[in-house]
Chains A and B, each alone.
Chain A
Amino acid sequence: MSSTTEHSPQVTEPATAVVGASPEKITLDRPPKGPWHTRVKGWHRLLIIVVEFTLIFALWQYLVGTLEITNPIFLPPPSRIWNGFFDMVSSGELWPHLRRSAYSYTVGYSLAVIVGIPLGLLLGTSVVAYRLTGPLIWSLYATPWIALMPMATIWFGFGAAPVMFIVFLAAFFPVMLNTAAGPQTVDRSLIRSATVFGAGSLTVFRKVILPASLPFILIGMRLAIVIGMIGLMVAEIVGSTVGLGALIKLKSATFKIGSAFSVIVIAVTLTMIFGTALKALAEKVAPWHFSDKA
């Protein structure tokens, strides 16, 4: 884990060799001196990002909005995206869609977490259970769940239920499989020493396995946020009339691409809100996961 999240100049250094840099670059083993861009840190970095995005948006606005190098109906300038957003908010058109999407997403995601974590813990702790169901689960995981969307509509009708079902399917596997990886990677010697000190299997589970698995559970939940959002969008685009995905489809079909883009921005914002909420929760329930990254 530790080296995964590490992101210091030293770690990225050898990789310069990959893009075929000069050989002396490979051997950098000194405090970063190099050109300016190797020393950018903290808020400077943020500044660069902000400037870059401002430039991109300004250029986009100029090229498409003023020069009209492409037909603005197909690729609207940022100003039109903003107008589209403003129109939908002021006319109140957005709210029913937003409410429905938030509802389907929350229910589908919560179900995935509620079902996925216990099943994942079971799979992770019991070799027999894993051996029995593992191959099946992996081959199910490999199937594109969107293929079930037309069937889900037949099974659950045209309301929020088929969308929930797809969000559930999309989010369930990352949660369960990552949770299963938790108990499987617990340091065996920790379990042994707990047993030596007289802990029963329940205590071992509660005091050793569960805390060690928490980071994995959280990774699964975080992944599921993004994948669940993909599921939500896909399901609503393909088979729903209410929801953000359906709104995107409607707006594109009527060539209001600006509005469609602004819906995507809303979806991104939603994802970010959920992600931030989860991160706050994670820091609360598993603070050690965020402190021992040394």
Chain B
Amino acid sequence: MTTTKDPSGIEEAGQVAVAEREIDHDHIGKVLAPPGFIRRHTWNFVFVIEIVFIILIWQFLQGGIEIFPIKFVPAPSGIFTELVDLLGDTRTYDHILYSLRSFVVGYVLAAVVGITVGLLVGGSKLAELTIGPLVWTSYAVPRSALAPMIIVWFGLGLMSKVTLVFLLAVFPIIINTMEGVRHVDKTLVNAGKVFGGSTMQILRKIVVPALLPFILIGLRIAVVRGFIGVLLGEFLGSFKGLGKILNTASYNFETARALAIVVILIFLANVTMFLVSSIKKWVAPWHHEESLLGGGR
């Protein structure tokens, strides 16, 4: 394609979508290192050892010689004590559940709306002309900046968090779905037609398999954005939730407690991320993010 300046900025955004996709590092390892060079599990152990090592050094620096005031940068042992304390308290689970509930509701809404809009804008020329510019314009707006107004509009309850999660999570999904639609190989669809496939068959055997990885990558990016939305909403005003207790802890200068809550958040985000990645590996095992890894294609 000769480079034409697309007035709606679609060309540019296509690249954004490429980069928003993530890289499967296992696959990179396989590509770069000869197969069977080092067993894969070795690196998992290395990862664990690494984390233990970092924690030990940190413990030595802060718990031992204390290079920063312990009040500001707590030692891992202090964080661990607070973590045990938090996990022993049933109220903590209330907060976790509250945060997760706003996340899940907003995330599911974002997934449904995002995939639908993405399919529409990517698939129909008319929708692309009419809804497309709206999507791109709203994509340019930093949705997080709407947070204070969303609190004003929807109050301090669940509704404002759900809205924030939705707004932050929906765009990666839309854009990756559109990207996926653009990646459906037309030759394959034509071949399917030639061999007498019905519309349903072509959808099921060609279009959906080609789309799925992209949608799932969008869903994976949306996880991080969704968690940002939950926290943002809870920081700004909430009665419950992890963001609320994190805020309270840091206002009270309980840094160890605050970091313990951050550890819980890191754990939750990574588990959710892992779940979505597993779904991707399960429904689209062949896909290895080849547009970033396959080189010249």
Binding site for B on A (CB under 8 A): 1-21, 23, 26-27, 29, 34-35, 37-38, 40, 42-43, 45-46, 48-49, 52-53, 74-75, 127, 130-132, 134-136, 138-139, 141-151, 153-155, 174, 177-178, 180-181, 184-187, 216, 219-220, 222-223, 226, 229-230, 233-234, 237-238, 244-245, 248-249, 251-253, 255, 257, 260-261, 263-264, 267-268, 271-272, 279, 290-291, 293-294
Closest residue of chain B to A222, judged by CB? Answer: B16
Q: Lowest 10 CB-CB distances: which A-B pairs, in order?
A: A150-B250, A15-B123, A252-B148, A15-B181, A219-B19, A144-B227, A14-B189, A46-B7, A233-B145, A23-B199
State whether B262 touches A252 (Cβ < 8 A): no
What's the A-B contact tally at a CB cutoff of 8 Å?
290
State whether B25 touches A17 (Cβ < 8 A): no
Chain B residues, Cβ within 8 Å of A35: 126
Chain A residues, Cβ within 8 Å of B94: none
> B266 near A: Cβ within 8 Å?
yes
> B43 near A: Cβ within 8 Å?
yes
State whether B1 touches A5 (Cβ < 8 A): yes
Interface residues in B105-139 by Cβ distance below 8 A to A read 119-120, 122-126, 128-130, 133-134, 137
User: Of A38, A216, A271, A290, which one neighbours B142 at CB under 8 angstroms?
Assistant: A271
Chain A residues, Cβ within 8 Å of B158: none
* Nearest CB of A to B279, in Å: 15
Q: Is the interface of A mostly helix, strand, loop or mixed?
A: helix
Chain B residues, Cβ within 8 Å of A251: 148
Interface residues in B261-291 by Cβ distance below 8 A to A read 261-262, 265-266, 269-270, 273, 291
User: Of B23, B146, B224, which one neighbours A177 at CB under 8 angstroms?
Assistant: B23
User: Of A10, A184, A294, which one neighbours B293 at CB under 8 angstroms?
Assistant: A184
State whether A226 touches B235 (Cβ < 8 A): no
State whether A234 touches B144 (Cβ < 8 A): yes
State whether B223 touches A252 (Cβ < 8 A): no
> B239 near A: Cβ within 8 Å?
no
State whether A27 touches B190 (Cβ < 8 A): yes
State whether A12 touches B142 (Cβ < 8 A): no
* Nearest CB of B to A53, in Å: 7
User: Of B8, B15, B228, B295, which one neighbours A222 at CB under 8 angstroms?
Assistant: B15
Q: A252-B151, A268-B141 are in contact. Are A40 and B199 (CB under 8 A)?
A: no
Roughly how many angstroms separate A26 CA and B149 CA in the complex, as a whole number?
Answer: 44
> B6 near A: Cβ within 8 Å?
yes
State whether B181 touches A18 (Cβ < 8 A): yes
Stretch at the interface among B29-37, B56-64, B83-91: B29-37
* Nearest CB of A to B219, in Å: 13
8 A-B pairs with CB atoms under 8 Å apart are A15-B122, A17-B202, A19-B123, A142-B223, A142-B273, A219-B16, A223-B19, A290-B3
* Nearest CB of B to A6, in Å: 5
Roughly how many angstroms separate A19 CA and B291 CA in the complex, as a whole number?
Answer: 25
State whether A5 touches B14 (Cβ < 8 A): yes
* Nearest CB of A to B223, in Å: 7
Q: A40-B129, A271-B140, A271-B142 are in contact. Are A234 and B43 (CB under 8 A)?
A: no
Chain B residues, Cβ within 8 Å of A279: 12
Closest residue of chain B to A70, judged by CB? Answer: B153
> B179 near A: Cβ within 8 Å?
yes
Closest residue of chain B to A228, judged by CB? Answer: B142
State whether B43 touches A135 (Cβ < 8 A): yes
Chain B residues, Cβ within 8 Å of A187: 295-296
Other A-B contacts than A146-B235, A249-B148, 20 sampled, CB-CB below 8 A, are A5-B11, A7-B182, A17-B123, A18-B184, A19-B119, A19-B120, A21-B123, A75-B153, A135-B44, A147-B266, A150-B247, A178-B19, A187-B296, A222-B12, A234-B144, A237-B148, A238-B232, A257-B149, A267-B141, A291-B3
User: Of A26, A45, A177, which one neighbours B193 at CB under 8 angstroms?
Assistant: A26
Chain A residues, Cβ within 8 Å of B262: 143, 147-148, 151
State whether A135 touches B25 (Cβ < 8 A): yes
State whether A248 touches B145 (Cβ < 8 A): yes
Roughly how many angstroms separate A178 CA and B291 CA in the complex, as a whole number?
Answer: 13
